[in-house]
Structure 1
Amino acid sequence: MSYRIVTDTSCDFPQEMYAQLGLTAVPLSVNYKNETHTHYTESWLKELYAGLRSGEAATTAAANPQDWESIIRPILEAGEDVLVLAFSSGLSTTYQSAVIAAGELAEAFPQRKIYVVDTRSASLGQGLLVYYACKQKEKGLSLEELRDWCEENKFHLCHWFTVDDLMYLKRGGRISAATALLGTMMQIKPVLHMDDEGHLISVSKARGRKASIDALVKKMQELALPGENDTVFICHGDCMEDARYLEAQVKEKCGVKDVLIYYTGAVIGSHSGPGTLALFFLGQHR
């Protein structure tokens, strides 16, 4: 039976990748300069990060059940089933909204199947799971087989990242004002990851930007599944030079062949700030 993969835009794909992979995505919104945005071009993201650097603020909103229904209903009406791969429930209500929408649509379309997976992932970490899911679908996996594959493999999706401006972690309640101030003065850069529950966890600290980026590479060296990381994803908060350095390091030290580099999207970037740099790969565990 034919089915479609549906995700949401917190997976931070470049616009062209949705078409390339045959994906449909539910938009999450960002309010910036009193305007609501749901689609983000590269030039607009660059403008957003410039604004954040100058002190502008942006707020975000999760997808609601109606957002999911408006995307999923036409697929069901066309006679196809749906696998939803949603933004981590540990960071957003987007997943819960997808579950609500799926329940309501299941009553309206009892002959159709709708499965919702909490990816426990975000940004291009979610994107990497979606990417691999699309590749598995191309191999001929059934809807149930792909659902089970995603549920099993999402815990191998490693998210390791660092931020350049500690004040964004302070605003998000992840560190105290005193810690942010002291860390900024001493050039301390946190190294964080996403745990199995889909929460952001601070793991260690590095002195200086280069050391924090090198720490991401070391984590990949420690955790990467052998032979399973020909392709990795890197996202950045308007710091391409740092992203290129990270790319060169993982190619040299981890045997990576292909790297997708793109902006940290507006939803995640509004909270993590300019200078965020993240590495996503398949690991033995998170």
Structure 2
Amino acid sequence: MNTFAIVTDSSCDLPESLAREIDLTVLPLAFVMNGREYYNYLDEREILLHDFYEALRVGQPCTTSAVNVDAFVSAMEPLLKQGRDVLCIAFSSGLSNTYNAAALAVEELAQKYPERKIYAVDSLCASLGQGLLIYLAAQERSKGKPIEEVRDWVEKEKYHLCHWFTVEDLQFLKRGGRVSAATALVGTMLSIKPVMHMDNAGHLINISKARGRKASLRALVDRMEQLAIQPEEQTVFISHGDSLEDAQFVANEVQSRLGVQKPITINYVGPVIGAHSGPGTIALFFLGKER
């Protein structure tokens, strides 16, 4: 058993097998579709992610619900009862109240278990960016580093965790207030795709535009070319909104252009983020000189 537990929420979008491999405790976040509440378990036990995106494609509305502090308490308390310390790395406060709920839960549990070390970190990350930060933190833990050192490593390295992504359908960003109705209309008519990233405050920022799908996908790799630290040695993650072929195209570009040697992890963008970014979203995650 690891010396301390790492806890997160399902916006990390890690493959269930990988989360299990690194001994990760994952709190499933909730969303509502067609009047029914679902929990986003990494193993897709309540809804297959392909089916989720098919529902979005035919116009099914999806809303995400607030995170309950008690849910974090319920996830962390059994670990504390086992005598383990807990490091919770949560979904960006720039996009969700998830971190705030985690921090309140940690405050409550710290009073109840004063002998244990319990910390909450705002990842300022989302999707497999959050997943990559957690995966790398687990590698630091595996080196035998104490919980405080791993916490401090996460606090520092989160500002180097690059998130670059594009979307296929601007209407989803329009509904979420990320682009204006006029931008969405013109962009759709001219096949203009946004190239976006997550800034140091954990907010999604529109950086540039590309004409056509393939150009937007290559633009993500261009950004990695500009920013990545020792790209040939990088661990790279890619997430997609039910668009595996395009994710594999980006992976191939990353390997051929930047000489990345390690296998690239590809997985779905989960429902909590996918509801706002839509089918066809492609996101590329790596460590860089800056975000």
TM-score w.r.t. length of structure 2: 0.95
What per-residue deviation string (whole Å, max 9, x for no partner) do you get for residues 103-162 of structure 1? 111111111111111000000000000000011100111000000100010111000000
1:40–1:266 CA contact under 8 A, matched in 2: no
Q: Tell me the residue number matched to 2:274.
A: 269
Deviation at 1:31, TM superposition (A): 1.2
2:232–2:258 CA contact under 8 A, matched in 1: no
Return 20-29 or 36-45, whichever deviates more. 36-45
Question: Given the alignment, which residue of 243, 248, 262 partners 2:252?
Answer: 248
1:68–1:101 CA contact under 8 A, matched in 2: yes
Answering whether residue 151 of structure 2 is matched by residue 150 of structure 1, we say: no
Aligned mates of 1:200, 1:41 — CA distance in 2: 27
Q: Tell me the residue number matched to 2:182.
A: 178
Which amino acid is the alignment partner of residue 51 of structure 2? Answer: E
Aligned mates of 1:123, 1:171 — CA distance in 2: 20
Return 52-61 or 226-235, whichever deviates more. 226-235
1:9–1:25 CA contact under 8 A, matched in 2: yes
2:232–2:260 CA contact under 8 A, matched in 1: no
Deviation at 1:262, TM superposition (A): 0.7
Q: Tell me the residue number matched to 2:138.
A: 134
Question: Given the alignment, which residue of 102, 119, 143 partners 1:98?
Answer: 102
Q: What's the Cα RMSD here?
A: 1.3
Aligned mates of 1:52, 1:208 — CA distance in 2: 22
1:5–1:24 CA contact under 8 A, matched in 2: yes
Q: Tell me the residue number matched to 1:44.
A: 48
Aligned mates of 1:182, 1:29 — CA distance in 2: 33
1:229–1:282 CA contact under 8 A, matched in 2: no
Q: Tell me the residue number matched to 1:210.
A: 214
Q: What 5-or-longer segments of structure 2 have no aligned partner?
A: none
Q: Tell me the residue number matched to 2:6.
A: 5
Deviation at 1:41, TM superposition (A): 4.3
1:27–1:63 CA contact under 8 A, matched in 2: no
Which amino acid is the alignment partner of residue 179 of structure 1? Answer: T
Aligned mates of 2:200, 2:233 — CA distance in 1: 20
2:7–2:89 CA contact under 8 A, matched in 1: yes
The 5 A counterparts of 1:42-121 are 44-121=48-125
Aligned mates of 2:125, 2:213 — CA distance in 1: 25
Deviation at 1:62, TM superposition (A): 3.6
Query: SS where residue 236 of structure 2 aligns?
Result: strand
Q: What 5-or-longer segments of structure 1 have no aligned partner?
A: none
Which amino acid is the alignment partner of residue 35 of structure 1? Answer: R
Aligned mates of 1:28, 1:237 — CA distance in 2: 18
Deviation at 1:179, TM superposition (A): 1.1
Q: Cα distance 1:41–1:62, how it changes in 2: closer, same or farther (>3 A)?
A: same
Answering whether residue 194 of structure 2 is matched by residue 166 of structure 1, we say: no
1:26–1:63 CA contact under 8 A, matched in 2: no
1:2–1:81 CA contact under 8 A, matched in 2: yes
Q: Tell me the residue number matched to 1:29.
A: 30
% same residue: 53
Aligned mates of 1:49, 1:275 — CA distance in 2: 9
Aligned mates of 1:68, 1:274 — CA distance in 2: 29
Deviation at 1:63, TM superposition (A): 2.3
Aligned mates of 2:216, 2:281 — CA distance in 1: 11
Deviation at 1:40, TM superposition (A): 5.0
Aligned mates of 1:11, 1:172 — CA distance in 2: 20
Aligned mates of 1:153, 1:160 — CA distance in 2: 16
Deviation at 1:33, TM superposition (A): 2.2
1:31–1:59 CA contact under 8 A, matched in 2: yes
Q: Cα distance 1:227–1:205, how it changes in 2: closer, same or farther (>3 A)?
A: closer
TM-score w.r.t. length of structure 1: 0.97
Q: Tell me the residue number matched to 2:227.
A: 223
2:192–2:212 CA contact under 8 A, matched in 1: yes
Deviation at 1:256, TM superposition (A): 1.2
2:53–2:242 CA contact under 8 A, matched in 1: yes
